[in-house]
A and B are shown apart, each in its own frame.
Chain A
Amino acid sequence: MPTPLMLTALAFLAGIVLASAFLYFPWTALTILFLASSAAAWSFRQDRLALRTISLLSATVLCAAGLTVHAVTYLPEDHYTRTIALDGTLRRTTGTVVSPLERERGRTAFLLAVSSIDGRSTTGTVRVVLKEEQPSIGYGDRAEIEGKFYPVRGYRNPGGFDYPAYLGRQGVFAVLSVRTGSTPLVNEQGSGLFRTMQDWRERIRQALLRSTSGQGSAVLQAMILGEEGGLTNDLRDIFLSAGATHILSISGSHLGLVAVFCFWLAKGLFFLLPERFYHRLTIVVDPRKAAALLAVVPIVFYALLAGGQQATIRSLIMLIAGFTALLLDREHAMFQALAIAGLIILVPDPQAAFDISFQLSFLSVAAILFVVNTASAVAPAAVTWRERVKRDAFLMLAVSLAATIATAPLVAYYFNRLSLWGILSNMIIVPFAGFLVVPLGLLSGVLSLVLGSLPFPGLNQWAGDAFVALTSFFAGLPGATAAYPAPGAVFAVAYTGLILSAAWFIRRRLLSAARPFEHPAGPSVKARVVALASFSLLVLSLVLPLLRNNGDRLVFLDVGQGDCCLLETSEGKRILIDGGGAVDNRFDVGQKVVAPFLGNRNIGTIDLAVLSHPHPDHMNGLASLLRTVAVREVWTSGQDLAVEGYEDLRKTAEERGTILRAVDAGHTRSWGRTAIEVLHPGRGFDRAGRRAYEAENNRSLVIRVSINNRRLLFPGDIHKEAERFLARTNPDLRSDLLKIPHHGSKSSSTDGFIAAVRPSIAVMSVGAGNPYRQPSNEVVDRYLGSGIRLYRTDQDGAVLVSLDKGGLSVIPWDALILRRIRPGEPGSWFHGELENWKRLWIRREAT
């Protein structure tokens, strides 16, 4: 039976959701509010709800809605977004460091609470990125920083992670980029508890770095100190495949298991007291309660040491709420404790409800509580150790299963990947981390503060390595992960209904079997109706997509600076032309941008991938994609393969059974009405250019795709030399769509080439603010001057092209991103809402 507190927490959540809906669909949200109020009024008249309950809930909903709208839209007069332009002008900023340092290879990032910019008093929080790994700056420092402000940029693709929104929820709307060699000037050292913890954290990190190495060390740093900089993409991949990614960032399971560990430890230590003293103690206080109280101390320390990240602090709040309930002899009221924790987190920061960490921890904790609660009500008393082991193993399996089932749609939504072994692997990986790796590392780390170096280095190294090996084992099991599309709204509702009714049904069954007198097994009509309705809805949500238009479509993904284009033919073939990639390969474009998009499109297999040329902005993404997506065949030009990074791709291809085929002009492949031809490099092309990279660009594969008499031309990164050669060797270059060569650089897109191709649509794949100053304005004008419709991924986000009977229709993804209404201008609400509904409607068609 929900208590007032649980209802309040749910009402608060409803208020947040309603307010967020209001900002995009104001009239719909108001209508829902009106309907809800009417329903409440009706139930009051029918004597179903007490006036007290109704007032409490309405007040909570309105309060939550008000807080949310305020949190989302309010920016003070002197906020930097209102006082300066985020245009990359060099500015002198002062402020205070308000987050732990986030370190990566050759880079450090942190949040700065701005106090002035260029001498003018300003407020706001900005994310600072320094190009050095060991800056002499720390938490709480007041510093003066010279750098450039840019808006936060993410990759705008259908279903992609919205990084600007993520930072926006933390009140961060700009990045302050500091150039190499420029160091922040610290005016005043930070002090206080947080700073001390940060300094300790750094000292422990150094001790770990000195005494341990390799992947084991990286995992230790991540799990003990929250330092994720050392985790390589390969390593993250292993954890993702094993369904244990969550273990890498310090969250509830870490704190919880460390707490349990310390609880046992403290209990054991109490018991070592002379019996007389022990008895004396039990008269004053229950040793278990004292142990629970003592166990809170190390987890608070751990949470602070780990940088006090939001997600960690939220888990800490949840745990402390749970512990408090235990200490007050209310262990039956864990759901209420969870509700209290939720309110403590959401009231000051309503937007937390949209954070993945908040959602995942609350759902999994709720699922675990449900299982534990049901189990403790029905489990028979276990007397012998054999019975106990059996009961505990069964409980662990049920807990793992419940948490996985409860979070599966969210995991699919955020990661587009589910690990089927996760249920099993978590039963072993999580306790291994929580009872061995973390306590050992934490203890060694704390001791290293005193001793100056890490004690038990060998043991720690072994624990870290064994942990990685264990995870690798699960990651290596056949069929470890599968790609899943993000669930739609209908699916989510149906799934929720189904698991809730199933859970209720199972609980009733178990209860009535265990205690037939207290819980008679009456017919559960309601549960059955809900289950049946949900199931039909679920089937519907799975069938509906099959009825959608499955024409030929083409997507130029926003991969920042780089190229990546996916063609899906109506015959069901998928052709990927280049895979994007970061030049320094720091950010894994393949796994973080391309793979989620493919997952969302429910694509697990690529029939053909073309690597136009082995440059990082075309190749790195493809190389990493090969690890997780089944790619049947990769075409390369077979030239310039000695470049850095290609070997990596070749090896992965070999391991994964991908055919690598060197092709040149004249090579063709056709599937039904789709024909793919290689036009370049052909024999006799030798004028490649003076500099190596020019030559490599000029030797790009040029691909022409013909579908239904429509032609699409993908000329890679060729420069004018290759353009001329191409025009000479191919008298008919006419195409309906052209991918603009070399990101719109000045060295390509000659007048002659444009005249030869005469596209009606040209798409430029280019990153905003790239250091090469691409595209050249001259080139842009050249296309626009020829009356060609130009799309560019730096402005439009992903460019979606569908090849219907009528011809090519293009929709830039940017136009489909929902826009917030201006709450202060009610006159504009209707128009704003209508536009958003239209966007949703077109989205359904286009993606």
Chain B
Amino acid sequence: MQIHPIFQHILEFLIPSSCAYCRSPVNGTGIPRFCGQCWADFARINGPVCPRCGKPFGSPEALIHSPGHECASCRRDPPQYDQALAAGLFEGPLREAIHLYKYRPLSALGRPLATWMAGQVAFDAKPDIVMPVPLHRKRLRSRGFNQALLLAHGISKKFDLTLCYDNLVRIRPTRPQVELTGAERTANVKGAFSLLRPTEVKSRGILLIDDVLTTGATMSECSRVLKEAGSGSVVALTLARTAE
């Protein structure tokens, strides 16, 4: 729902809202709970990242000599996806925004976040299908919406891709990944996903969408299911990822 700027100004006068991050007044940005400054300050990823999982390297020269150099964990334990991309780093105002979006939950942030996300990424090869990482029904019920779906919808519109949200499903409830450590995360999501119509993904390039990538366990497990069904390349795109 887009509100006309004039009404936004009237609304801001009647019911002013302050920026969730810096507490200064929000002046008609059209983005709920964020001032233009903080929204512009979302942490972008500059410098070299692991070409596989997207993790930023500590040294700016990391990829100069060997462009295909993967990070230690990808080499030791290669993830199932072909590439993971992140629009930004999970810190500062972006972190606050994702928290509000997911846990308030403030669904109205979905559209502007997706727009921002779409502006940050480019694809080498255009994928065929966009799929959000699914929620279990129980989680969906309490949150009301799947945060990844709204992002995926924005991406599919921007890049004119097919959106599919009813094939990949979560078949058992899992504990929230944030509560777990790295090893536990992998075990937690093991066997949690399934494809209802495996044939649909055969040889197709898949773009998986989620909000945050930390260890990549969820994305990796989804990719495994997709690859087993014979999909083409799987690119995992998230709104943000942690630096470590």
Q: Which residues of A contact B (CB under 8 A)?
A: 3-5, 267, 271, 275-276, 278-279, 282-283, 285-289, 325, 328-330, 332-333, 336-337, 340, 381
20 extra interface residue pairs, beta carbon distance < 8 Å, beyond A282-B144, A329-B33, A340-B14: A5-B14, A267-B144, A271-B141, A275-B166, A282-B107, A282-B145, A283-B150, A286-B108, A286-B144, A289-B107, A325-B15, A328-B11, A329-B106, A329-B108, A330-B15, A332-B17, A333-B16, A336-B14, A336-B16, A340-B15
Instruction: Note all chain B residues with C-beta closer than 8 A to A289.
Output: 107
Shortest distance from the beta carbon of B157 to any chain A beta carbon, whole Å: 10
Give the Cβ gap from A10 to chain B, nearest Cβ, in Å: 15
Complex CA–CA separation, A328 to B108 (angstroms): 9
Return B128 CB to nearest CB of chain A, in Å.
20
Query: Can you list 15 contacts pairing A with B, beta carbon distance less than 8 Å?
Result: A267-B144, A278-B140, A279-B149, A279-B165, A282-B149, A289-B107, A329-B33, A329-B108, A330-B15, A330-B17, A332-B17, A333-B16, A333-B17, A336-B16, A340-B15
Q: How far is the CA of A333 from the CA of B13 in the complex (A)?
A: 12
Quick one: closest B residue to A283, CB to CB?
A: B153
On chain B, the residues within 8 Å of A329 by CB distance are 32-33, 106, 108
Nearest B residue to A340, CB-CB: B14
Once A279-B165, A282-B146 are accepted as A-B contacts, the answer to whether A3 and B16 lie under 8 Å apart by CB is yes
Kindly state the separation between the CA atoms of A267 and B33 in the bound complex, as whole angstroms: 25
CB-defined contacts of B150 to chain A, threshold 8 Å:
282-283
- Interface presence of B6 (CB below 8 A): no
Q: Is the contact region of chain A dominated by helix, strand, or loop, or is it mixed?
A: helix
The docked-state distance in angstroms from the alpha carbon of A381 to that of B33 is 21
Say whether A283 contacts B149, CB under 8 Å: yes
B168 to chain A, nearest CB (A): 12
Residues of chain B within 8 A (CB-CB) of A3 are: 15-16
CB under 8 Å from chain A, chain B span 1-54: 1, 11, 13-17, 32-33
Partner of B144, one of A5, A287, A333, A336: A287
Complex: chain A residue closest to B111, CB-CB: A283
A332-B106 Cα distance, complex, nearest whole Å = 12
Name which residue of chain A comes closest to B165, CB basis.
A279
Residues of A within 8 A of B15 (CB): 3, 5, 325, 328, 330, 333, 336-337, 340
Cβ of B32: which chain A residues have Cβ within 8 Å of it? 329
Q: Please name all residues of chain B whose beta carbon is closer than 8 Å to the beta carbon of A276 when the two chains form the complex.
A: 165-166
Q: Give the chain B neighbours of A267 by CB distance below 8 A.
A: 144
Whole-angstrom CA separation of A41 from B23 in the bound complex: 30
Name which residue of chain B comes closest to A267, CB basis. Answer: B144
**Complex interface: chain B residues within 8 A of A5 (CB):** 13-15
Q: Give Cα A330–Cα B14 distance, bound, in whole angstroms.
A: 11
- A276-B145 Cα distance, complex, nearest whole Å: 12
Please, which residues of chain A bring their CB within 8 A of the CB of B106?
Answer: 329
* Bound complex: CA A3 to CA B18 (Å): 11
**Cα–Cα, bound, A283→B145 (Å):** 8
- What residue of chain A has the Cβ atom nearest to residue B103's Cβ? A381
Please name all residues of chain B whose beta carbon is closer than 8 Å to the beta carbon of A4 when the two chains form the complex.
13
A334, closest chain B residue (CB): B15
Complex-state Cα separation, A283 to B149, whole angstroms: 8
With A283-B149, A329-B108, A336-B14 known as contacts, the answer to whether A288 contacts B144 (CB < 8 A) is yes
B-to-A contact residues, CB < 8 Å: 1, 11, 13-17, 32-33, 103, 106-108, 137, 140-141, 144-146, 149-150, 153, 165-166
Q: For residue A286, which residues in chain B have a CB less than 8 angstroms away from its CB?
A: 107-108, 144-145
Shortest distance from the beta carbon of B140 to any chain A beta carbon, whole Å: 8
Residues of B within 8 A of A340 (CB): 14-15
From residue A307, how far is it (CB to closest CB) to chain B in Å? Answer: 31
Asked if A285 contacts B1 (CB within 8 A), the reply is yes
Smallest Cβ-Cβ distance to B25: which chain A residue:
A3
Question: Which of B14, B145, B149 has most chain A Cβ within 10 Å?
Answer: B14
The interface residues of chain B lying within 8 Å CB-to-CB of A328 are 11, 15
CB distance from A277 to the nearest CB of B (A): 10
- The CA of A763 and the CA of B11, in the complex, are separated in Å by 63
Complex interface: chain B residues within 8 A of A336 (CB): 14-16
Measured CB to CB, the closest approach of chain A to B67, in angstroms, equals 38
Instruction: Please give the distance in Å from A212's CB to the nearest CB on chain B.
Output: 36
With the chains together, A134 CA to B149 CA distance in Å? 59
How far, in Å, is A564 (CB) from chain B's closest CB? 53
Question: Chain B residue with minimal CB distance to A1?
Answer: B18
Which of chain B's residues have a CB closer than 8 A to the CB of A288? 107, 144
8 closest cross-chain pairs (CB), A and B: A286-B107, A282-B145, A329-B32, A333-B15, A336-B15, A329-B108, A288-B144, A276-B166
CA distance A276 to B146 in the complex (A): 12
> How many Å lie between the Cα of A107 and that of B149 in the bound state?
62
Q: CB-CB < 8 A to A337: which residues of B?
A: 15
* B165 → chain A closest CB, angstroms: 5
Given the complex of chains A and B, what is the CA–CA distance between A275 and B106 in angstroms? 21
Q: Which of A279, A287, A325 contacts B166 (CB 8 A)?
A: A279
> Chain A residues with Cβ under 8 A from B108's Cβ?
286, 329
Listed residue (B16, B103, B106, B144) with the most chain A CB atoms within 10 angstroms of its CB:
B144
Least CB distance, B134 to chain A, in whole angstroms: 9
Interface centre among A275, A325, A328 (most CB of B within 10 A): A328
User: Complex: how many Å from CA A329 to CA B108?
Assistant: 7
CB-nearest residue of chain B to A330: B15
Alpha-carbon separation in the docked complex, A308 to B74 (Å): 68
Complex formed: what's the CA distance from A328 to B30 in Å? 11
The CA of A340 and the CA of B15, in the complex, are separated in Å by 9
Chain B nearest Cβ from A53, distance in angstroms: 13
Tell me the bound Cα distance from A230 to B140 in angstroms. 47
Nearest CB of B to A263, in Å: 12
Contacts of A285 in B (CB 8 A): 1
Question: Would you give the shortest CB distance from A290 to chain B, in whole angstroms?
Answer: 10
Instruction: Give A518 to B1 CA distance when docked, in angstroms.
Output: 33
A333 contact set on B, CB distance < 8 A: 15-17
Q: Which residues of A contact B145 (CB under 8 A)?
A: 282, 286-287
Residues of B with C-beta under 8 A to A279: 146, 149, 165-166
Most buried by B among A3, A285, A286, A287: A286
A337, B17: Cα distance in complex, Å? 12
B184 to chain A minimum Cβ distance, whole angstroms, is 16
The interface residues of chain A lying within 8 Å CB-to-CB of B107 are 282, 286, 288-289
**Which residue of A is nearest B137, CB measured?**
A275
Within 8 Å CB of B33, what residues of A?
Answer: 329
Q: How far is A288 from B140 in the complex, measured between Cα atoms in Å?
A: 12
A230 to B1, CA, bound (A): 48
| Closest-CB distance, A391 to chain B (whole angstroms) | 15
Distance of A45 Cα from B140 Cα, bound (Å): 57
A3 → chain B, closest Cβ, in Å? 5
Q: Which residue of A lies closest to B104 (CB)?
A: A331
CA distance A505 to B182 in the complex (A): 42
Question: How far, in whole Å, are A381 and B102 apart by their CA atoms in the complex?
Answer: 13
**Residue on A with the closest CB to B107?**
A286
A47–B15 CA distance with the chains assembled, in angstroms: 25
Chain B hits for A287, CB < 8 A: 144-145
Q: How far is the CB of B162 from chain A (nearest CB, A)?
A: 14
Q: Name the residue of chain A whose CB is nearest to the CB of B176.
A: A383
Distance in Å: Cβ of A211 to nearest Cβ of chain B: 37
Task: For B149, list chain A residues within 8 Å (CB).
Answer: 279, 282-283
Shortest Cβ distance from A278 into chain B, in angstroms?
Answer: 8
CB-defined contacts of B103 to chain A, threshold 8 Å: 381
Residues from chain A with a CB closer than 8 A to the CB of B140 are 278
User: In the assembly, what is the distance between CA of A832 and CA of B106, in Å?
Assistant: 59
